[in-house]
């Protein structure tokens, strides 16, 4: 089963007409659910990473 990291809090509202299409990233999971391509069980919200991992990754 495919797992998709997603949470409504990931959406960042941008002004209408902004060149980055942020809305599409919010709509993709909704469309996949609507089509029956995925189920709610495929979606998960990752846990917050320990700061040590973030610092090591972006060193």
pLDDT one-digit tens code per residue, 16-56:
888 988 888 889 999 999 999 999 999 999 898 899 888 88
Q: Quick one: tokens of 26?
A: 């919010």
Q: Report which of residues 40 and 1 the model is more confident about.
A: 40
Q: What is the pLDDT of residue 59?
A: 59
| pTM greater than 0.85 | no
Cβ-based neighbour number of residue 32 at 10 Å: 17
Q: Are the C-beta atoms of residues 3 and 44 closer than 8 Å to each other?
A: yes
Q: What's the rounded Cα separation, in Å, for the pair 41 and 26? A: 17
| φ, ψ at 57 (rounded to 5°) | -70, -40
Q: What's the rounded Cα separation, in Å, for the pair 30 and 12? A: 16
Q: Quick one: tokens of 23?
A: 């809305």
């Amino acid at each position: 089963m495919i797992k998709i990291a997603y949470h409504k809090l990931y959406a960042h509202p941008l002004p209408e007409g902004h060149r980055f299409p942020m809305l599409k990233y919010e709509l993709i999971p909704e469309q996949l659910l609507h089509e029956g391509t995925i189920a709610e069980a495929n979606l998960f919200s990752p846990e917050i990473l320990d700061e040590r991992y973030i610092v090591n990754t972006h060193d």
